[in-house]
Amino acid sequence: MSAKISGKSKAKIEFANYKILPLLFGDHDRNIARIEQKLRVSIGCFGNQIEVKGSEKSINQAIATIETLYKKLDIEGEQDSLDFEIIDAAIEWILNSTDEHGKPDLTGFDTQFGKLETWKRRIIPRSPSQQTYVKSLLKSEVSLGVGPAGTGKTYLAIAVAVSLLKKRQVERLILSRPAVEAGERLGFLPGDMKEKIDPYLRPLYDALFDMMPSENVERMIENGQIEVAPLAFMRGRTLANSFVILDEAQNTTPAQMKMFLTRMGENSRVCVTGDLSQIDLPPNIKSGLKDAIEVLEKISGISIIRFSGNDIIRHPMVTRIVNAYDKREGNHLYEVPAE
């Protein structure tokens, strides 16, 4: 491979094993088109060579992505055709990872470990922090995921839980959230208790429907395999053979957090997610998530994964919004340097 660095840069890559190029390029070169779109480069295919044009940074990112996917097809024997999930995961990893020289780094990117098979889609961690998080969810009995919006804390936790449910490694999936936003106004909302609470649990339902056919979700809710409930409904229960997720945990009190964590029963896993920059509790009440991190930091078997603004995988604008709010509020919890 040779690269010429200039105002309008370009680089060529030559592949030794031309037989796997159809898998790398995809039908009608759709995989190459995906990389062009995501990384803002132009890629021309000529036999067993490709030419990449764009900015120096974009070229380096595209080359790192293509080389990694090629090696996985050639060396590691992953002879299945690539899909957009794997390609997008590699690109997101590239965008969120650099080595000590500031160059794109796909070290540790692994499409096998942490590949979560759900009913509707395959989900792959898209940054080193996400991969560490998935490993902790699969190995630790209690995991805490803390960080800003868009880092995949809740989505990946539900993906792990759905994957384990599909493989019958757990019997139940229990999703919970504190309904802090409702406060005293809850009683004034129309409808029965379920209709009052459901809007606060809707993000959890959305993630489930993204991974499972709606009929599966509805059937499992009816037979008790899946339960979506406000935190208050957890009191007094012992949850065995379950994967239990508490979302928006920054809005729990220390007493509520202790109550939740002590619901854990035999053969269960617990995941707690939250964003310490979005606490909706009254100023005089300490966040149960912040308290739990302080209390549980050094306890064996508990993993605490901290995400930063670098791990945001939504639209790039989300990173800039997080930075702007953190800068104004002076907490700099998740701020990342501007390019």
Do 317 and 200 lie in one domain? The reply is yes
**pTM of the predicted protein model:** 0.76
Asked whether residue 109 is domain-assigned, the answer is: no
Do 149 and 8 lie in one domain? The reply is no
Alpha carbon distance 69, 43 (integer Å): 15
Q: What is the DSSP letter of 29?
A: G
Asked whether residue 101 is domain-assigned, the answer is: no
- Measured N-to-C along each axis, helices 193-211 and 153-166 cross at an angle, to the nearest 10 degrees, of 70
* Total domains in the fold of the chain: 2
Do 178 and 228 lie in one domain? The reply is yes
The CATH code of the domain that includes 181 is 3.40.50.300
- Give the chain's end-to-end CA distance (angstroms, integer): 28
Size of the chain in residues: 339
Asked whether residue 7 is domain-assigned, the answer is: yes
In the prediction, which pLDDT does 129 show? 87
In the prediction, which pLDDT does 167 show? 94
Residue 172 token pair: 């139940």
Asked whether residue 314 is domain-assigned, the answer is: yes
For residue 286, give its domain range: 116-329
In the prediction, which pLDDT does 201 show? 77
Do 122 and 162 lie in one domain? The reply is yes
Alpha carbon distance 200, 176 (integer Å): 10
In the prediction, which pLDDT does 337 show? 44
Asked whether residue 106 is domain-assigned, the answer is: no
Residues of the chain with pLDDT under 50: 1-7, 113, 182-189, 192-193, 336-339
Asked whether residue 179 is domain-assigned, the answer is: yes
Residue 227 token pair: 């339960």
- Chain centre to alpha carbon of residue 151: 6
DSSP string, 59-85: HHHHHHHHHHHHHHHHTS---SPP-HH
Do 129 and 89 lie in one domain? The reply is no
In the prediction, which pLDDT does 85 show? 77
Q: Which domain-ending residue is among 96, 124, 153?
A: 96
Do 183 and 294 lie in one domain? The reply is yes
pLDDT (tens digit per residue) in 41-71: 999 988 888 999 999 888 988 998 898 888 8
Asked whether residue 111 is domain-assigned, the answer is: no
Do 28 and 156 lie in one domain? The reply is no
Do 177 and 296 lie in one domain? The reply is yes
Do 283 and 164 lie in one domain? The reply is yes
3-state secondary structure of 213: coil
Asked whether residue 334 is domain-assigned, the answer is: no
The CATH code of the domain that includes 86 is 3.30.1370.10
Alpha carbon distance 187, 193 (integer Å): 9
Do 204 and 320 lie in one domain? The reply is yes
Do 178 and 283 lie in one domain? The reply is yes
Do 201 and 294 lie in one domain? The reply is yes
Alpha carbon distance 47, 50 (integer Å): 8
